[in-house]
Each structure stands twice: as structure tokens, then as C-alpha cells.
Structure 1
């Protein structure tokens, strides 16, 4: 389910968008209403929400809206924007936010649906390549390509990326069910991303950044077979 955050203080526009979402995207999209982009930013910063898509008015204070969107994108780069404006002269800076669409107000129904359709396609594609984790700090969306390996310490899982680490409270067996087949258990306490491997031996797996994890004797044959299968289909 794609979460859409609508940021506009106009009640009529809120109802119009909600009506379109309910009629055409009920099974795919859920919309939340915010009076302004500023109020949504506060919710995102506090970890209380994490929308996939933001549909926001930019008419009143363009500079503030652009700055808010950049702050959101810096914290949550996967979030996508669709802008609405009653001003036909949209400033060029708005395109620095990489918007999917810039809609005029009042919003033509066909244009709104076209924008939402495009956003849905992009969101669904990225869902396949993203791990969504709920933690004490809120909701995190982690690109699978950023994860080199997983490490288990009792009921705590550490997801190791090249430049950062994520932490969650779950069993390794359970979290592995949420990963694609190119993530493989190589040890009782480790699983690896085959796309990040540089070298595999019977004792260890070495990654492209120089780090390594142990490979158990019982799992080496399976990991080797999975690795050969992975590269044969690339």
C-alpha cells in the first residue's frame, strides 16, 4: 500500500484528491491530509510517518516549500514529490526536487490521475528493491543495494552497509524471509548479499569494500552453488 501525503490547507482540494484516491486507487494507495508541508516535515522528522509520495501546494511560499522538500529528501531520499501551484510561473528551482509532476490549480482530473499513475509505477518498482523496517526510531526504508551483510547477535540484527549500519530486533530466520534470493545465509549468525561479494572461500566471504564474514563448513557448498547460479543469470 502506497502512502500519499496531501499537503494543502484548502478543504475543497483535500476532498477532491481524497475522492480520486478512493475511487481509483483504493487498493493501492492510502492518503493522509496535512495543512502544510511544514507540518508533514515535523511528523517525518519525529519518525511518526514515512510517506512514499507527497502531493503538496507550493503557491504561498515557494522558497520555503523547496527548502522543506530538500530537507525531506536529504533524510528520506526515496520520497517522491508532486507539486501543485496556482501560479503559472513556477520557478526553475522547483525542478531541483526532482518532482514527478507539477500540476496547475485548479487541478485537471486527467492530469492528477496521470501524475498518480506515474508515481505508483515508480513506487512499486522501488518497493521490490527496498527493505522497510519498523523500529523504535520510526520507519526506515533501506535500499537492498546498500546492504552488504547481516549479522545476528541473539535477537538483534545489524544490517551492515558500506558507510552505515542499521539495527532491528528480530530473528535472522525471520528477517531472511523478507530478502530476495541473492541474500544467502553463510553462517549461523551471518547472511550476505552476493552482489557485494569479491571472494568466497570455505572459511570466509570477502566483500568489495575489504570487509569479510565467516562461512561455516555446513553452509559453504550451498553458498557456492547460489553464487554460481546468481552469476549465471546476470
Structure 2
């Protein structure tokens, strides 16, 4: 289940879009929230980092800052699917600097909206099925990738640090590759970090919001810095 977020300066248009998107998406939607400004949308997304949402976003928002808002959304919620909305041709080139599933032109046709929703649904379904399978003495469990903060290696054991706690199993970092994606980067011989969950980094370490610190080895620093900067710029 996921939410539909609609951010458009025209409230009547947002209400119409809400009604039509709900009719198309049906049971997949947990709720719909409307926003009229960039700050309100970003504040909500920041407070719900574990969500994967379908986000309708006006390109011309606050003088063209809809594209910047889209970058922010993907930084905080990488699995969200953006559907840009535009009444003009002004920002068409800039839109393609941000990963999105569709660009709706106002006034949109119902068939175009249906295509946009279906594309977003497909990607959301793929995203919510991305899980890391852990087998240990307690049994087998699946952990959604977006909930994993980092992996820590201790001899033959790997500790999976998640938003809910720590799960341990026996294994090697090299065996993880088929199950993880590009957001997980090795920054140290003993650590693989989900860079979408860290708050900041410096020359020596990653810092998380709760105060945890993960070291960055010199041999990994240049690659890690480049990847993290790309992520912050919305190019990851």
C-alpha cells in the first residue's frame, strides 16, 4: 500500500486529480494528501522516509521550483515515483534531469493520466518487493531494502542494522550483490552503507540522524564522495 501525494498551486485541479487517480488506482492506494507548496511537501516526505509514494508535482510550482522539489523527494524517498504536471513548455528540458515516470500536460486527457498511474504502479510494485533475505538459526526472514541502514562485518558474521533493530547471520559481503542495489556502497572493509539513509558525510565518516558514525576508508573515499554527491544532486 502506498500514498498519492499531489502538489499543485491550483486546489481545484488537485481535487480533480485526486478523484481521477483514485478511480484508476483503486485498492492500491492507502490515502491521498494534497499540498499547495514546496515546503509543505518536503516537510511531509522528510517525516515519512520509509514510504514509497506516487507523487504528482507541478513543474511551475513557485516559479519553477517543482523540479527542485522532485529532486528533494527522491533524496528522501528513493522509491517514490514522480509524475510531473505542466501547463507550459518552458521547463521540458529541465524535467529530464530528474528521474520520473511521466509528464502530464495540462489540461490532461484521462487516457494519459491512466498511463501515468499504471507506470507508477508498476515501479512501486517492483520497489516494494525489493527485499534482503536473511537465513540464520532463528529461521528465514525478509527485510525491505529501504529499512536497512548499513551492514557491519564482524569476522564471519554480518550484522544488518535496520530501522527496527539488528539481525545477524553468517556470510560475506561479496555474496550480498544479487540482493542489494546501487544505494548500498562499501565504504570500509567492515561496512556497507545505504547512502540514502545517512544524514551527512565528511572525509572520515558517515553520520546518521541518531548520532551513529560509520568510518570511511581512504581507499574508498573518492568513489564514495562522488556517489554521494551524485545522490544529493539528484543524479544518482
TM range (shorter): 0.5 to 0.7
Q: Which runs of 5+ in 1 are unaligned?
A: 132-140, 152-157, 160-164, 173-188, 199-206, 213-234
- 8 A contact 1:103–1:112 mirrored in 2: yes
Q: Deviations over 1:21-65 (max 9, x none)?
A: 332222012322112233110122234883422101122445422
Higher-Rg member (1/2): 1
CA distance in 2, matches of 1:197, 1:22: 38
Task: Give 1:121 shift.
Answer: 0.6
Task: Give 1:76 shift.
Answer: 2.4
Following superposition of structure 1 onto structure 2, how do residues 12-91 of structure 1 map, counting pairs within 5 Å? 12-29=12-29, 30-47=31-48, 50-61=51-62, 63-91=64-92
Q: Deviations over 1:163-219 (max 9, x none)?
A: xx534248x5xxxxxxxxxxxxxxxx5365897269xxxxxxxx9x7559xxxxxxx
Name the structure 1 match of 2:105. 104
Pair 1:166-2:167 in alignment: no
Do the aligned partners of residues 210 and 169 (structure 1) sit closer, same or farther apart at CA in structure 2, a change above 3 Å counting?
closer
CA distance in 2, matches of 1:122, 1:43: 21
CA distance in 2, matches of 1:38, 1:120: 26
Do the aligned partners of residues 114 and 74 (structure 1) sit closer, same or farther apart at CA in structure 2, a change above 3 Å counting?
same
What value does the CA root-mean-square deviation take over the aligned residues?
Answer: 3.7
Q: Deviations over 1:74-119 (max 9, x none)?
A: 2322222111011133341111111111111112111011000011
CA distance in 2, matches of 1:38, 1:92: 24
Name the structure 2 match of 1:10. 10
CA distance in 2, matches of 1:21, 1:193: 44
- 8 A contact 1:37–1:68 mirrored in 2: yes
Task: Give 1:145 shift.
Answer: 9.4
TM-score by length of 2: 0.57
CA distance in 2, matches of 1:103, 1:9: 15
- 8 A contact 2:82–2:99 mirrored in 1: yes
Name the structure 1 match of 2:145. 142
Name the structure 1 match of 2:136. none
TM-score by length of 1: 0.58
CA distance in 2, matches of 1:197, 1:2: 27
- 8 A contact 2:148–2:163 mirrored in 1: no
State the SS of the aligned residue for 2:26.
coil
- Comparing 108-117 with 92-101, which one deviates more in the overlay? 92-101
Q: Which runs of 5+ in 2 are unaligned?
A: 133-143, 178-185, 192-236
- 8 A contact 1:150–1:191 mirrored in 2: no
Name the structure 2 match of 1:190. 169
CA distance in 1, matches of 2:100, 2:53: 13
